[in-house]
Structure 1
Amino acid sequence: MNILESLEWRYASKRMNGQRVPSDKVERILEAIRLAPSSMGLQPYTVLVIEDEELKKQIRPIAMDQPQIEESSHLLVFAAWDDITPDQIEEYIQHAAEVRNMPAEQLLDFKNILLGIAERNTQEQNFNWAARQAYIAFGVGLVAAATEQVDATPMEGFDAAALDKLLKLNEKGLRSVTLLPLGYRDAENDWLAALPKVRRQREKFIIEA
Structure 2
Amino acid sequence: MSNIKALNWRYATKKFDSSRILTDDKIDVLKQAFNLTATSYGLQPLKMLVISNKELQKKLRAYSWNQKQVDTASHVMVICIENEVDEKFIANYFKRVKHVRETPDEILEPFQNSLVNDFKTKAQEEIEAWAINQAYLALGTLLTVCAAEEIDACPMEGFEPEKYDEVLDLHEKNLKSVLVLPVGYRAKDDMFSRFKKVRRPLDEVIIDID
TM-score w.r.t. the length of structure 2 is 0.95
Structure 1 distance, partners of 2:114, 2:157, is 32
Residue in 1 that maps onto 2:201 = 201
Matches within 5 A, 1:170-185: 170-185=171-186
Report the aligned-residue RMSD. Answer: 1.3
State whether structure 2 residue 10 is matched by structure 1 residue 10.
Answer: yes
Structure 1 distance, partners of 2:139, 2:129, is 15
1:37 shift after superposition? 1.0
Q: Deviations over 1:26-72 (max 9, x none)?
A: 11122112111111110111011111111111100101111111111
Residue in 2 that maps onto 1:20 = 21
Q: Match for 1:207: what amino acid? A: I
The answer to whether the Cα contact below 8 Å between 1:84 and 1:123 also exists between their aligned partners in 2 is no
Residue in 1 that maps onto 2:38 = 37
| Partner SS state of residue 63, structure 1 | coil
Q: Match for 2:127: what amino acid? A: N
Q: 1:162 to 1:104 in 2, by over 3 A?
A: farther
TM-score w.r.t. the length of structure 1 is 0.95
Matched positions, count: 208
Structure 1 distance, partners of 2:17, 2:106, is 53
The answer to whether the Cα contact below 8 Å between 1:49 and 1:75 also exists between their aligned partners in 2 is yes
Residue in 1 that maps onto 2:132 = 131
Structure 2 distance, partners of 1:200, 1:117, is 39
Structure 2 distance, partners of 1:170, 1:116, is 27
Structure 2 distance, partners of 1:60, 1:5, is 32
| Partner SS state of residue 78, structure 1 | strand
Q: Percent identity?
A: 37
Comparing 83-92 with 34-43, greater Cα deviation is found at 83-92
1:127 shift after superposition? 0.8
Unaligned runs of at least 5 residues, structure 2? none
Matches within 5 A, 1:7-156: 7-18=7-18, 19-104=20-105, 106-156=107-157
Structure 1 distance, partners of 2:167, 2:58, is 12
Q: Deviations over 1:154-174 (max 9, x none)?
A: 000000111111111122221
Structure 1 distance, partners of 2:110, 2:199, is 44
1:104 shift after superposition? 4.3
Q: Match for 2:41: what amino acid? A: M
| Partner SS state of residue 62, structure 2 | helix
Q: Match for 1:17: what amino acid? A: D
| Partner SS state of residue 191, structure 2 | coil
